[in-house]
Chains A and B, each alone.
Chain A
Amino acid sequence: MKTLLASIILTVALAGCSTVKPYQREVLADRAMAPSGEALEDHFRQHWQESREGGAGGYASAGGGCGCN
């Protein structure tokens, strides 16, 4: 509960960092700056990393689903 509350407070605080209007997002709209711009490639990388490393997850999508143990 404390963690959830801290997360909400942090989100509100960070929102005060900057408000960039849509017409100011020329650079942020670039594919290199988009968090989801390399989703398919990152999914394959996550797949082979989980097959060769003990650590997994933490990248906004659940892995697993194969017998690559």
Chain B
Amino acid sequence: MLRGNYWRDRNTRVIAPEAEFAKELPSGTLIGGGYLLDAITSASVAAGVLSDQPFTELRSQMGAVLGQRLGPATLTGTYRYSTESDYWAHTGGATLALDLFDKNTALAGSVVYSHADVGRRMGPSMFGVVGHLGSWFAILDGAQVLSRWALLDGALELSRLGDASDPRSYQGNPYRTVVVAGTPTAEQVPRQRQRLAASAGLRVAMPIRTPLLRHLSFYLKYRFYADDWGVVAHAPELRTYLRLGPVEARLTGRYYTQQAADFWPRDRTGQPLIAPVYDQMGISFGAPGDPNHCLCFTGDAKLSQFSSAFFEVRLAMPLWFLDRPSLPLGSYFGASTLALSYGHYVNTRSAHLQYGDAEVAGLEWIFPL
């Protein structure tokens, strides 16, 4: 599968081509791999520097998957490495999946660990390491066939980012500053963050089939998120799939809303401010004797109170017309599918102040191995 991703908001443009393959061998061995290149062009003001000079940063990410099917169970190991000029991360994990009750039930459990070194650029060719981030993820997910027309899925994720007892544990952005008592200051956030995310989704196909409308289904899902920094978020989403002749259309609508972190500045009535300005030296987070305690201050709009909405249209079409004897590899290309998507992302309050709206696009070519 080849895919090109595009993101554009007020300060940042991302062009990210990627390639991924997956194959199950006759022996039941699963192999897979992928590569992604993130070309990120940002106005450096967005990164915390006072003068606005656009620069492009490249991030490379490569991953591999190896698994083995053992009867109804599948054991899989994954590894991913990401590198950019000031951030390096290794991520590894293992998954055990089970197919039960004649494959009407699927369950999976995963454990993932990620270690990242966080650096700060100091000039065009020098950087310093400001800290690291070790993160653990435990994920349970499953799917249940409800009928010939309906499928239920869900996932539960518990994660711990950072380590409160490690003075080098770092979760901030070394380039981001925030006004504290009138002075721009590098942000300071807790060393550790514990998160919970749970999602559920229902896929329902309509028993409608006409010469033109060959498939109609809906996917309604909802995700709840909460962490010990005080951020609580809700994200309902609806996807509608229609197949009109050979073309598959998907319409997506997603709404997101979150509360601010406990250490986001507030006004006298307790309402979160839109612009992060701290009158005093930070907001106390955690008990004074707690290793995760800090006088915290942040300019990260992701920790503010805001809402967002995302709308997307995707069109996919099998390239069956390329299956011609006169065309080299015609039967191969004829079995592939081309997909194009475009979406618009809007947000409010602090997020809109910092990022603005965004355009998201993708071009995907899926072909069999």
Q: Which residues of A line the B interface, CB within 8 A?
A: 7, 11, 14-15, 17-22, 24-28, 30-33, 35, 40-41, 44-45, 48-49, 52-62, 64-67, 69
Contacts and interface: CB of A to CB of B under 8 A. Distances in A.
Q: Chain B's interface: helix, strand, loop or mixed, by majority? A: strand
B205 A30 contact: yes
A49 B254 CA distance: 11
Given A32-B248, A53-B258, A60-B155, A21 B118 contact: no
Given A41-B341, A58-B156, A33 B151 contact: yes
A59 to B, nearest CB: 6
A52 B307 CA distance: 11
Interface string B194-229: 010111000101000000000101010001110100
Contacts of A41: 3, 341, 362, 364
Contacts, number: 185
B47 to A, nearest CB: 11
Given A30-B215, A69-B172, A58 B101 contact: no
Contacts of A62: 91, 93, 110, 112, 114, 137, 139, 157, 159
Contacts of A60: 108, 110, 139, 141, 155
B105 A14 contact: yes
B225 A55 contact: yes
A9 to B, nearest CB: 13
Interface of B: 1, 3, 5, 7, 14, 16, 18, 20, 38, 59, 61, 80, 82, 84, 86-87, 89, 91, 93, 100-105, 107-108, 110, 112, 114, 116, 118, 135, 137, 139-149, 151-153, 155-157, 159, 161, 171-173, 195, 197-199, 203, 205, 215, 217, 219, 223-225, 227, 231, 233, 235, 241, 243, 248, 250, 256, 258, 261, 300, 302-303, 308, 341, 345, 347, 351, 355, 358, 360, 362, 364
B82 A57 contact: no
The DSSP consensus for interface residues of chain A is: loop
Given A11-B142, A54-B261, A57-B197, A65 B89 contact: yes
Contacts of A11: 100, 105, 107, 142, 144
Contacts of B364: 40-41
Contacts of B256: 49, 53, 55
A15 B144 contact: yes
B195 A57 contact: yes
Contacts of A40: 1, 3, 18, 20, 364
17 contacts: A11-B107, A11-B144, A20-B145, A20-B147, A20-B148, A32-B217, A33-B203, A40-B1, A41-B362, A44-B362, A52-B347, A52-B358, A53-B302, A55-B256, A60-B141, A66-B59, A69-B300
A22 B148 CA distance: 10
A1 to B, nearest CB: 14
Contacts of B139: 57, 60-62
B108 A66 contact: no
A31 B143 CA distance: 15
Given A11-B107, A14-B144, A33 B225 contact: no
